[in-house]
Amino acid sequence: MRTVGSSRDKTWPIIRKTGIKLLFRHGFQGMNLRLLASESGLQAGSLYNYFDNKNEFLATIVSDIMKELLQQISDALDGVQDPEERLRNFVSVMVIWHTKRKKEAIVSQSEIRNLPKGRYEELIGLRKEFELILRKIIDEGVAGGVFRVLDARLIVVAILNMLTGIAGWYKPNGRLDVETLVGEYTDIVTKMLSAGKEIEVARGLRRRVQQVGRA
Amino acid sequence: MRTVGSSRDKTWPIIRKTGIKLLFRHGFQGMNLRLLASESGLQAGSLYNYFDNKNEFLATIVSDIMKELLQQISDALDGVQDPEERLRNFVSVMVIWHTKRKKEAIVSQSEIRNLPKGRYEELIGLRKEFELILRKIIDEGVAGGVFRVLDARLIVVAILNMLTGIAGWYKPNGRLDVETLVGEYTDIVTKMLSAGKEIEVARGLRRRVQQVGRA
Amino acid sequence: MRTVGSSRDKTWPIIRKTGIKLLFRHGFQGMNLRLLASESGLQAGSLYNYFDNKNEFLATIVSDIMKELLQQISDALDGVQDPEERLRNFVSVMVIWHTKRKKEAIVSQSEIRNLPKGRYEELIGLRKEFELILRKIIDEGVAGGVFRVLDARLIVVAILNMLTGIAGWYKPNGRLDVETLVGEYTDIVTKMLSAGKEIEVARGLRRRVQQVGRA
Amino acid sequence: MRTVGSSRDKTWPIIRKTGIKLLFRHGFQGMNLRLLASESGLQAGSLYNYFDNKNEFLATIVSDIMKELLQQISDALDGVQDPEERLRNFVSVMVIWHTKRKKEAIVSQSEIRNLPKGRYEELIGLRKEFELILRKIIDEGVAGGVFRVLDARLIVVAILNMLTGIAGWYKPNGRLDVETLVGEYTDIVTKMLSAGKEIEVARGLRRRVQQVGRA
DNA sequence: AATGAATGAGACTTCATTCAT
DNA sequence: AATGAATGAAGTCTCATTCAT
């Protein structure tokens, strides 16, 4: 039985926050628990009051992050019917998240590979949900005649790669503020889902595949 | 000093190939030199005949990879003037590379962070070149009236994120073959650079920035 | 100071019993106080209401065990004069103890080595008492002409090793029940104390000592 | 490929010898690899050139010890037919081993419990062999009419417990030299296998089992 | 060029023990 | 008397790196 306000309630958030900082800075394998402990104001051994081992620590952090983002998206779509508005809301949450919560975004993207088997699959599952949500928005827009796509599955990953990529280059106090970015990306995504002219495929493709793809 | 036909010429390619495989599979910090050695048919100590230390090994691998991609792009653009054709060629090389050379693509994307200071900056410089090449293509297309963009710098990173993202999800023998992918992505990129209707920005953006962005 | 009926009276026996189980199962160094606590329904810190430290805990357990066995032997010999009957009673208590109280027997045999200096000597002293008791029985029997031995001190440890060894192999519900075992061991011990024919010593002993004893 | 006389050939025997000393002195859980290393003239990490982990180290040590003793016994029985002579030889090897090789004897007796599952069963199997060898000697002697026993299986463990017990109390330069001990134990074992008078069982046995055996 | 063995630093983890509540 | 959290020391094991051969 835990007393309300016990020291656990104070310490874990500190560890969590420090952890995300260090995971962002050094990566999972590059960070170490001594550092996590000392920057959290603890001895290394004390961390084990909060998780079973380093891998589970990572799993908890990553899982919490992904669930929070999913929740934010869910909130933003809640009660909205119009596919174009749903899309705009989806994009805006993603842009804000990948800029304002850059560290969390990077960590949850990069460190899934370091999870222990069981947790790995669990979180891959969570990641699939993002695709499903966007896929549903697009399918409804296509059905409603407001979007046009060649291959829905592909456009989904293309958009997601583009949006999650933001965290990789965005710098706070950079050239563009977040609101502007939201506008720009909304524009880009909208174009991606519009009808386009017939395009010509690059010539000599077969030869180029040989050329570029030879190990 | 390298003797022609010395065992270096046989062994280094093996180490290099094994290294890319292991970097892809475990990441830089997660791989280890004993494994690299044993999978290359050597003892760990012998590796030091081929590089000075683990970090330099990584730097060499990543640098070679990035230079090869730059070269491929350069070859594909060589002698081509038309911005739309240049764009198609750029896209096709990128799609092929990030599918057929998935391992190299992932390694060079993920492990730059682990480079020692000096080499880090060098390779960040190489990475900038990709942006400059694409930027130039777009600027010329805009100047020629065939592309329309809101913010050229942004569209560059957006497109690059989308294309480099391919390596993260592509699986050989998956649903779409490479040629098809090239077509699809060419289509998408083309749309991204086309004129679009005025789009509405998501409502309540200020509030959402607060909501999503609170740590 | 112990309050009658305080929770100490309930909790210590639980700890004690759990402790013997864990000492038997894992050994002193292999058991740990967190496990002792959790299997006793406590947190680790609470154990320190019952002992000063892990070593003292062991000392108490082992000491109690040895004193109980000594008491049982004492009870069984009490008022019995005849050396042969005293011997039979001694053997029967030892056989019963090392079968029915197997865990205690093993623990007190194995863990003396882990005791802190002072308690170590104390318990070695207790162990000597067993030898003295048996020695006295044998000496009286020899004096009375009912036993015959070559070397009383040796026969004492030989018999004790044989009897204490029972705990190492005995399994409840095994082939022989305890009553039968008592009979068998009484028979064996009796023979060990009888007159025997002259025996021949193994030949080539000096050489064999060299051969077997070379490190 | 190992060069003859490589440093492995010098180092492992040192580690082995030091290991037995430390296992004897502190037990498996009580010893530590840093100490093993430093007393072997190495750094702790270097030990891992010689075994995979601490448990495997123990398994190797114990296994080697038991195999050596089995070999010594086998040598001593080789070509000897007469059951009484075989018995004398068996006893003499055991006595010598458990005195002159006291450390090895103690280690192999005490630490089997700490072995990893697979190796545990393997070594329990080796231990059974000692019983089988003695059992065969006794059965043949009984068949030949030179030994008389109530229960062969029991007398086997009784004798073995007595003999292996020697290592627990023997001190070099003690009162009795090894040759004398061999004589004494041969005498004792011989008596144990002789015909004895009918013995009376301890009275009140049922009650005593209750009394002594209550937890 | 390659090997086998060694180093030394550091990582994760365990655990007896303490102590404020 | 019990709890939950913390400490600090220590232990096993890993690994980049070195070096004599």
A77: number of Cβ within 10 Å: 18
Contact check, Cβ <8 Å, C188/D155: yes
Q: Residue B114: its chain A contacts at CB < 8 A?
A: 27, 30
Is-contact D204 C78, C-beta < 8 A? no
CB atoms closer than 10 angstroms to residue A84? 18
Query: CB < 7 Å to strand E — which of 23-42 in chain A?
Result: 31-34
Report helix, strand or coil for C119: helix
Q: How far is the CA of C14 from the C1' of E13 (A)?
A: 29
- Residue C197 is predicted with a pLDDT of 72
| B with C: touching (≥3 Cβ pairs within 8 Å) | no
Q: How far is D4 from chain C (nearest CA, A)?
A: 23
- Are B72 and B90 contacting, i.e. CB atoms less than 8 angstroms apart? no
So what's the pLDDT on residue B197? 72
Q: Which pLDDT band, with edges at 50, 70 and 90, does D4 fall under?
A: very low
Enter the tokens of residue B151.
């913010």
pLDDT in tens, D185-203: 999 999 999 987 767 777 7
Asked if residue C126 has pLDDT above 70, the reply is: yes
The interface residues of chain B toward chain A in range 179-208, judged by CB-CB distance below 8 A, are: 179, 181-188, 190-192, 194, 196-197, 199-202, 205-206, 208
In whole angstroms, E15 C1' to D49 CA is 28
Q: Is residue A198 predicted with pLDDT exceeding 80?
A: no
**pLDDT digit string, tens, across residues C131-148:** 999 999 999 999 999 999
Q: Which residue is closest to F6 in terms of CA–C1' distance? A: A46
Per DSSP, chain C holds a count of helices (H) and strands (E) of 11, 0
| Burial call D186-206: b when 16+ CB within 10 Å, e when fewer | bbbbbbbbbebeebeebeebe
**Burial class of B122 by CB neighbour count within 10 A (0 to 12, 13 to 18, 19+):** middle
D43 CA, E5 C1': separation in Å? 12
| CA-to-CA dists, residue A61 to A58, A118, A130, C190, angstroms | 5, 15, 18, 71
Is the CB atom of residue C44 positioned under 7 angstroms from any atom of strand E? yes
Cα–Cα distance between B118 and A118 in angstroms, integer?
Answer: 39
- Main-chain dihedrals φ then ψ at residue D76, nearest 5 degrees: -75, -25
pLDDT of residue B215: 79
Q: How far is CA A194 from CA A131, A149, B35, B153, B197, in A?
A: 19, 7, 50, 22, 9
Query: Which whole number is the average pLDDT over D163-173?
Result: 97
Round and report the angstrom distance from CA (A170) to C1' (F3): 47
Question: What residue has its CA nearest to the C1' of F18?
Answer: B45
Summary mean pLDDT of chain A: 94
C58 touches strand E (CB under 7 A): no
| C97 CA: distance to closest CA in chain D (Å) | 6
Determine the pLDDT at residue B42: 96
Q: Is the minimum CB–CB distance between A124 and chain B shorter than 8 Å? A: no
Taking the C-alpha atoms of residue D80 and residue D82, their distance in angstroms, rounded to an integer, is 6
Distance CA C212, CA D90 (A): 12
Asked if pLDDT for residue D3 goes beyond 70, the answer is: no
Which residue in D has a C-alpha nearest to residue C85's C-alpha? D202
Region label for C27, one of left (φ > 0), alpha (ψ between -120 and 50) or beta (otherwise): left
Residues in chain C: 215
Chains contacting A with at least 3 CB pairs below 8 Å?
A: B
How confident is the model at residue A3, as a pLDDT?
A: 44
* Residue A2: pLDDT band with limits 50, 70, 90: very low
pLDDT in tens, D92-122: 999 999 999 999 999 999 999 999 889 999 9
Residue D53 CB partners (closer than 8 Å, separation 6+): none
pLDDT tens across D124-153, in order? Answer: 999 999 999 999 999 999 999 999 999 999
Whole-prediction pTM value? 0.93
What is the rounded distance in angstroms from the CA atom of residue A43 to the CA atom of residue C175? 55
Q: Is A16 within 8 Å of A24 (Cβ atoms)?
A: no
Q: Is D117 on the interface with C (CB under 8 A)?
A: no
- What pLDDT sits at residue C6? 65
pLDDT beneath 50: ranges in chain B: 1-4
Distance A185 CA to F19 C1' (A): 58
Residue C42 pLDDT exceeds 50? yes
Contacts 24+ apart (CB under 8 A), A114-117: A114/A28, A114/A29, A114/A55, A114/A58, A114/B27, A114/B30, A115/A55, A115/A58, A115/A59, A115/A62, A116/A55, A116/A56, A116/A59
C169 to D187: CB separation less than 8 angstroms, yes or no? no
Inter-chain CB proximity C151 and D205 less than 8 Å: no
d(CA C165, CA C117): 26
Which residue of C147, C161, C177 is the best one to mutate when testing the D interface, meaning the one whose CB has the most D CBs within 10 A? C161
**For E14, which residue's CA is nearest its C1'?**
A45
Report yes or no: B63 and B122 within 8 Å, Cβ to Cβ.
Answer: yes
- Residue D215 and residue C17: Cβ atoms within 8 Å? yes
To the nearest whole percent, how much of chain A has pLDDT over 70? 96
For C13, the closest chain D residue by CA position comes to: D215
Q: Provide the mean pLDDT of chain D.
A: 94
Question: What's residue B199's pLDDT?
Answer: 74
A55 touches strand E (CB under 7 A): yes
* Closest nucleotide C1' to the C-alpha of B34: F15
Residue D34: both structure tokens together: 């840093």
Q: Are C193 and C164 in contact (CB under 8 A)?
A: no
Does B171 touch chain A if contact means CB atoms closer than 8 Å? no
- Averaged pLDDT for residues A158-168: 98
pLDDT band at D163 (very low <50, low <70, confident <90, very high): very high
Q: Is the pLDDT of residue C204 over 90?
A: no
Q: What is the pLDDT of residue B2?
A: 43
Cα A150 off chain centre by: 25
> What's the farthest any 2 CA atoms get from each other in chain D?
71
Instruction: Check whether D1 has a pLDDT greater than 50.
Output: no
**pLDDT band at residue C203 under the 50/70/90 scheme:** confident
Report the pLDDT value the prediction gives residue D197, as an integer from 0 to 100.
72
Tell me the CA–C1' distance in angstroms for B9 and F18.
Answer: 24
What confidence tens digit (pLDDT) does each residue in A95-138 have? 999 999 999 999 999 999 999 899 999 999 999 999 999 999 99
Residue nearest to nucleotide F8 (CA to C1'): A43
Q: Is the CB atom of residue D199 positioned under 7 angstroms from any atom of strand E?
A: no
Q: Quote the pLDDT of residue C8.
A: 73
Return the partners of chain D (3 or more C-beta pairs < 8 Å). Answer: C
pLDDT 10s digits, D24-80: 999 999 999 999 999 999 999 999 999 999 999 999 999 999 999 999 999 999 999
**What pLDDT score does A6 carry?**
67
C95 with D208: CB under 8 angstroms?
no
pLDDT over threshold 70, residue C4 = no
Chain D: give the shortest CA distance to residue C8, in Å: 19
Block residue for tokens 């015959």 = C148
Note whether C192 and C159 are within 8 A (CB).
Answer: yes
Cβ under 8 Å to B: A residues 21-40: 27, 29-30
Q: Which nucleotides of E are covered by protein (CB under 7 A)?
A: 1-20
* Cβ(B95)–Cβ(B163) below 8 Å: yes
Q: Which nucleotides of F are covered by protein (CB under 7 A)?
A: 1-20
Mean pLDDT of chain C: 94
Cβ separation C164–D161 shorter than 8 A: yes
| CA–CA distance, D44 with B109 (Å, rounded to integer) | 38
Contact: chain C with chain D (3+ CB pairs below 8 Å): yes
CB contact under 8 A, D179 and C93: no
Nucleotide E2 C1' to residue C34 CA (A):
51
Q: Does residue C182 or residue A4 have the better pLDDT?
A: C182
Per-residue pLDDT at A38: 97
- Give the CA dihedral B116, B122, B124, B129, nearest 10 degrees: -160
Q: What pLDDT, on the 0 to 100 scale, is given for residue D196? A: 76
Provide the pLDDT for residue D39: 97
Contact C187 D176 (CB under 8 A): no
